[in-house]
Amino acid sequence: MKRGFTLIEICIGMLLLSLTLLGFLRINSFASHSAMDAYYKFMAQQLANEPIEVFRAMGYERIKNLDKKPLPGYPIGTTESIQEEVSGERYPVETSLFSRTIELEKVEEDGVKGFLVKVSVFPSGSNKISAWLVRQMVNATGLVIEEVTQ
């Protein structure tokens, strides 16, 4: 005759199993969170880098005149939700859940001038991105240096 498990043994086993599974679940949840955080952080980083790259491509002289001729999609000094489509260019769907602030600061060292472009990207209010992101804001800083034409 086989001897079965006693109730106590089963309870202890289930407790151990539960604890193990809970641990796994916890780890899994943390990993999932981490994965989603990395994903959205990466997306936010790209959104933060984007204006810097655009401004660098446009050059110092154009940036100087941004107050007179603003660039659609890249407002200076205000926070705006990122549009999924700007001037025919489409962003990934979830980018509309982010907001972005772009600031320009004039800098000069030893006679060479430039603009410091500071970009902050963060979730637009409470949404799934804000739930996943560990740090709620991603910052990027870039420099646009004046062109000297001979």
Sequence-separated contacts (24+) of 78-86 with Cβ below 8 Å: 81/124, 82/47, 82/121
* Least Cβ distance, residue 42 to another protein (angstroms): 5
Residue 130 near residue 146 (C-beta atoms within 8 A): no
Considering only residues 10-69, where is the footprint of another protein by CB under 8 A?
17, 20-21, 24, 27-28, 30-32, 34-35, 37-39, 41-42, 45, 49, 52, 56
Determine which residue in the list 54, 64, 118, 120 makes contact with another protein, applying CB under 8 A.
Answer: 118
Interacting positions 63-102 with another protein (CB under 8 A): none
CA-to-CA dists, residue 46 to 1, 29, 43, 61, 95, angstroms: 68, 25, 5, 24, 10
Residues 6+ apart with CB under 8 A from 63: 55, 104, 115, 144
Could you tell me the smallest distance in angstroms from the CB atom of residue 79 to another protein?
A: 20
How many residues touch another protein (CB under 8 A)? 39
* Chain contacts with another protein (rule: CB under 8 A): 17, 20-21, 24, 27-28, 30-32, 34-35, 37-39, 41-42, 45, 49, 52, 56, 107-112, 114, 116, 118, 140-143, 145-150
